[in-house]
Amino acid sequence: MVTIFEARHGTIAYSSSAITWDASTEASDESFTANVSELKNVTMEFPEMSVEQVPLLGNTQVTIGANTVSSGSALGPVTGTFQNAMLDMKNATNYKFSGTVVFTGDEEFFHVLGLDSGVAIGGVAKRYSIGNLTTAGADARTLNGALRLFLNNGSEEANAVMTNTVVTKIGPLKTTGADGHWECDVEMECLPRDGFLEFLD
């Protein structure tokens, strides 16, 4: 029987500070803030590793044999004559996360990761801004936070993790209809070196 993960088997958790990773602790056992439950339409895109063909001078007659990754190799899975060419491997793109969050009226994970530290207002509220810089001119957002998608169906487990995440989009804040609820889209990215996939053996 093929093992599948249903939507209810997935949880999202976040951290607003750097995590000290090690080679003995599973991602699911690392210390993250409580799971986020008000999410839907979740998508995590993994880095795209595209290539571009570079045509070269000359051609090579190929015979059947052990294939090798080299221009002009005379051995391969087919016979024939082909123009020489190579693949230019491009840099991997970023990890990307997107989802729709039910707007609850309290600070949620994307506010913590994507806004500045806020200003206390009258001891009863906190006011946040977008695009704010620190006095030193640095980005005021949390830039070393992390996001973890954990899938667990009782027999198999998998983790998709992004660290040093940068929130790139908050909004629009919108309703699902005249008799619906308010919700907000969120997107974030991280470099290829700052994300990973992990599977239970």
| Average pLDDT, 10 consecutive residues per value, the chain (201 residues) | 87 90 92 83 95 92 82 79 91 96 86 84 88 76 88 93 93 89 94 95 83
d(CA 56, CA 81): 14
d(CA 33, CA 149): 13
Which pLDDT belongs to residue 71?
A: 65
Which pLDDT belongs to residue 143?
A: 82
Which pLDDT belongs to residue 121?
A: 93
Ranges of CATH 4.10.410 domains, the chain: 7-49+91-199
Is CATH 4.10.410 the right assignment for the domain spanning 7-49+91-199?
yes
Which pLDDT belongs to residue 6?
A: 92
Query: Are 66 and 75 within 8 A, CB to CB?
Result: yes
Query: Are 162 and 142 within 8 A, CB to CB?
Result: no
Decide: residue 93, CB within 10 A, 0-12 exposed, 13-18 middle, 19+ buried: middle
Where do we find the tokens 């209809």? Answer: 177
The rounded radius of gyration (Å) of the Cα atoms in the chain is 23
Query: Are 81 and 101 within 8 A, CB to CB?
Result: no
Could you tell me the pTM of the whole model?
0.85
d(CA 23, CA 153): 24
